[in-house]
Amino acid sequence: MEVIKSNTTIQALQTGIGILEVIAKHDKPLKFSEIAELTNISKSYLYKYLNTFIQLGFLYRDQDKGTYELGSKLIEFGMIAADRENVVERITPYLREISKHSSCTVTYSIWTSNGPMIINIFNSFQGINIGAQVGTILPITSAAGKIFLAFHDHDIIKEWKEAEFKKLSPAEKEKLENELEHIRRSEFSFAKEPIIASVSSVSFPVLNFKNNLLGAVAVVGFSEQISDDENDELNVFIKEMRRKINDIFGH
């Protein structure tokens, strides 16, 4: 576990998380007096913490029984985290197979409040510098960025799209918009050197049975390795892997 200096953390937040942990570890809702005894926090402060968590949806209070339990927002966070972990776990063998077959780097990205972010990288044997790492927020002109633009909910990506479009020339915007319909039909995108010179990528969406976007897989390599011809041998192989991956989630 990473050791973090105490002077760079918020003690009140740590106290609040401690309260949530106490409630989460018990298999039954707890009364105010029980939480106070278990946390050893003064009742006046504890009351404020609990009210704040209720307001945020982190806790639920049964008005009749006066007990507290985890709220819908925390449950939602937990389900999102579990779903993401499950997706990565299930597609990892295929991503490794793509990397091995192509000698390229393969990334998996998900949507975050800041935009599409790489959460997993499967490095090629060549160890090329793809100009990104885990935690990198991808530009809209990257192959994976185009997948999110084409398939993700418009309202969710609106702010990211507006911010990214401000960085583009009118010609670049038009070109990108013209690509979207083909990307939606083919479930395949291409980008030439969007982040670092001489490195290009192809990407495809991971979709579930509801046609909702779970994430984007991108194959990143030297520009001479990555072709925009969908009938290229490597792209045919990648599309077969796409089919197998999306079959897992009922798409």
Q: Which residue from 194, 216, 206 is spatially nearest to 130, judged by alpha carbons? A: 194
pLDDT tens, residue by residue, 136-191 = 899 999 999 999 999 999 999 999 999 999 999 999 999 999 999 999 999 999 99
Considering only 107-111, 123-127, 130-134, which range has the smallest mean pLDDT? 123-127
Q: Which residue from 217, 221, 224 is spatially nearest to 242, judged by alpha carbons? A: 217
Q: What pLDDT score does 3 carry?
A: 42
CA 125, CA 169: separation in Å to the nearest integer?
36
Q: Are 151 and 116 in contact (CB under 8 A)?
A: no
Pairing of strands 30-31, 67-70: antiparallel
**Does 8 or 71 have the greater pLDDT score?**
71
pLDDT exceeds cutoff 50 at 122: yes
CA 177, CA 170: separation in Å to the nearest integer?
11
CA 96, CA 107: separation in Å to the nearest integer?
10
Q: What pLDDT score does 2 carry?
A: 43
What's the number of CA atoms in the CB half-sphere (13 Å) around residue 8?
A: 3
Residue 103 CB partners (closer than 8 Å, separation 6+): 124, 125, 126, 221, 225
**pTM, two decimal places:** 0.67
pLDDT tens, residue by residue, 81-121 = 666 658 888 999 999 999 999 989 999 999 988 899 999 99
CA 4, CA 161: separation in Å to the nearest integer?
35
Mean pLDDT, the chain, rounded, equals 88
3-state secondary structure at position 231: coil
pLDDT tens, residue by residue, 199-227 = 889 999 999 888 999 999 999 988 888 88
Residue 189 CB partners (closer than 8 Å, separation 6+): 143, 144, 146, 147, 150, 179, 183, 202, 203, 204
Q: What share of the chain in percent tops pLDDT 90?
A: 61
